[in-house]
Amino acid sequence: MATASIAKRLKDPSLFRQQAFVNNEWVSAATSKTFEVNDPGNQEVIGCVPECNVNDVSKAISAADHAFQSWRNSPVETRYQVLNKWKSLMHEHAEDLAKIMTIENGKPLKEATGEVLYAASFLEWFSEEAKRIDGDIIPGGMPSHRHLVIKQPVGVVAIMTPWNFPTAMITRKVGAAIAAGCTTVVKPAAETPYSALALAELAKRAGVPPGVLNVVTSHENLRDVSSHLTTDPIVKKVSFTGSTRVGKQIMEQASSTLKRLSLELGGNAPLIVFEDADLDAAVKVAVACKFRNNGQTCVCANRLYVHDAIYDEFAQKFTQAVKHMRVGYGLGENIELGPLIHQGAMDKVSSFLRDAVDKGAKVQTGGAAYGSSGTAVDGTTNAAQFFQPTVLTEVTADMLVSSEEIFGPVAPLIRFKAEEEVLAWANGADVGLASYFFTRDLSRAWRVAEKLETGMIGVNTSVVGSASTPFGGIKQSGIGREGSKYGISEYLNIKYINMDIS
């Protein structure tokens, strides 16, 4: 019934796939085992996908290794055409891709559609970057010697992606890998496999050759599957987006064969509003930055520092904006916030909120799960995994919301009085992915941007991600960059050749 229900909502029902994708074929797990995927908005079962094990993953790795022998030598024009066709198909089927994402992830349809278009932009960008994989000729000290530097694809790449951006995290990695001449094995999050499988269907239609893109799904076998991907000597690189804790485990496992790594890990983003900021603009951007995907992103504003001189006014305007946010099932009309991904996320947000209130924080709006009072979102939706968008004032440093990533719709507002003070607080985290601040002072803009210890900074904006710019962090927020001209370099080896022509 769930499958039929999904199919009726799609213009192209064949995009809803319930098998793994290996060597351009749709396959079941060797054991025929499956696991269920639930809609976080209503807890209904969407469908089932294969419970792949190590043997299934080995077949995908072998397919990728075999395909690499030819794909590595494919003409640049071929890679360009395949990636561009894939991008065009994503645009053509954007509505269906967004619906699949909303049903398995929960984010509102408008936001899901935005992610689909954002994801497609990486395929377009890297199709062009494939043409710019160049090298160097370096002058040498000996007249008969010629020093050449060439770039070659690293090989088979294992790609592990999270549930919060189930489409964009794949294209941002796979687009770069395929453009570089690599082949891939993708392991999507167990919560959101259908977006990955729909992308695989479109990749096949776009002409991606057998074995260049493989998608395996797992849930109960996740630990063994991930370990195999990070230790198999055929795999030459691992690209992972997720928590810092898991990233460290992957780094340790990958060290056994010294694999190349790209790790985009946790964030605890500070957002600073200085006393000279455009207050209305800061409120608007801060709301969008905090509550994007219901606060479930690694670049969401997590700690909102507001100067004491404007704190009360900012808090009042910010709270009013949050009060009017429309919460409900993602396919509903004008929905801005959907459900949290699972009960574990609900429990974490609730515990952080209790900790803050117990220590003196004031709830200005929200402050509870919808289901806790027996009410339903919009009066119609099962409220089990919906949490009220919440604003906290009088937040202090001893509260969990001040020091740990919330990953939910709770905005803690923290007072500060001096630039040096807030910079020390902002830089006090052991992670450094993104940060944001608002000021109309040009000198301060340069000064603070240079002092903030994060890989990405938004000044008077929350936009830090695009296909043409480098995405990534410093400290314990990861290794490497995705997107931009730097992103494709992560999938290339540099080879030096000294040629004696005497």
Mind telling me the catalytic residues?
264
What H or E segment, with its residue span, contains residue 111? helix 109-129
Determine how many CB atoms are found less than 10 A away from the CB of residue 42: 15
Structure tokens at 348: 């974490």
CB 441, CB 463: distance < 8 Å = no
Q: How far is CA 416 from CA 103, 113, 272, in A?
A: 41, 38, 9
The amino acid occupying position 189 is A
The amino acid occupying position 467 is A
Structure tokens at 151: 């770039």
Which letter does DSSP use for residue 293 in this model? G
CB 361, CB 393: distance < 8 Å = yes
What H or E segment, with its residue span, contains residue 315? helix 311-323
The amino acid occupying position 12 is D
> Which backbone phi and psi does 295 adopt, to 5 degrees?
80, 5
CB 371, CB 386: distance < 8 Å = yes
Closest CA to 27 of 64, 69, 57: 57
CB 409, CB 392: distance < 8 Å = no
> What is the C-alpha separation between 132 and 176, in angstroms, rounded?
12
Q: Please tell me the total number of residues recorded for the chain in this structure.
A: 502
> What is the C-alpha separation between 321 and 172, in angstroms, rounded?
32
CB 368, CB 388: distance < 8 Å = yes
> What is the C-alpha separation between 427 and 417, in angstroms, rounded?
16
> What is the C-alpha separation between 170 and 244, in angstroms, rounded?
19
Structure tokens at 475: 């400290």
> What is the C-alpha separation between 387 and 484, in angstroms, rounded?
36
> What is the C-alpha separation between 272 and 426, in angstroms, rounded?
8
Structure tokens at 275: 């006393």
> What is the C-alpha separation between 263 and 247, in angstroms, rounded?
6
Closest CA to 413 of 294, 301, 320: 301
State the greatest distance between any 2 C-alpha atoms of the chain, in Å, as a whole number: 85
